[in-house]
Amino acid sequence: MSGATPPPGAGEGDGARDALRERSDPAYTGGETDAVGKEKHTLWPSEAAVSDVVGRLIEFWGFKRNMGRIWSVLYLSPEPLSAEDLRQALKLSSGAVSMTLNELARWGVVRKVWVQGERKDFYAAEVQLWRMISRVFSERERTEIVMAIESFEEALAEVSKLRHSTDPKTRARAELQHERIKQLLELARLGKRLVETLLATAKIDAEPLVRFLLRQAPPSND
């Protein structure tokens, strides 16, 4: 948290409230706040298109569509936006916006920022895409893979008991399952190593590498 100074004349209650907020570094001050919260936020066609696409993609990935839509609008905005700005821009209910912002903040892809002269909360998006993706992998995908490995190991132990059955059909079935579960276990362990490599790379900021790879990609036919 940065040491941004609260608005002049703020009382102790205001100071405590501001202290609980995450503030951008640097805070939005002076001329930067002229356009913040002064007029109704209307989406450009490009913003509407991107928010819809990201919303669909994020839904496919198992998240709520509005999480992708709200993050996109914040990501493309030149200044932080309030919950009311987002509600007006995306035609959502206040409750839906509030709940979605809380979820996005929990995932660490949206943060509260302090705007000088404003008493309501404003929000900004995480713009380091690689860092954002690695955080999701760390909190969700890695957990799922670890659980899968544990389940495969338990299943393998159970089916191993049947490989020595006196019944030929049971033995054959157990051998088949043992071999195929072992393959699934190896695949899950490989996935865990890949995710851990991704997370380790993210710690040293892999975005320059990503940009380099994108420059090496074959040109589009468009």
Of 127, 154, 176, which marks where a domain is finished?
127
CA distance from start to end of the chain: 44
Range of the domain at 87: 20-30+39-127
What's the pLDDT score for residue 146?
A: 93
For each successive 10 residues of the chain (222 residues), what is the average pLDDT? 42 42 43 49 92 94 94 95 96 97 94 90 90 81 92 96 94 96 95 84 58 61 56
Q: Are 37 and 23 in contact (CB under 8 A)?
A: no
**In a domain? residue 95:** yes
Of 64, 94, 127, which marks where a domain is finished?
127
182 plus 151 within the same structural domain: yes
Of 94, 127, 160, which marks where a domain is finished?
127
What's the pLDDT score for residue 139?
A: 81
118 plus 193 within the same structural domain: no
How far apart (Å, rounded) are the C-alpha atoms in residues 136 and 139? 5
Residue 110, Cβ density class (10 Å: 0-12 exposed, 13-18 middle, ≥19 buried): buried
How far apart (Å, rounded) are the C-alpha atoms in residues 124 and 74? 6
What's the pLDDT score for residue 41?
A: 77
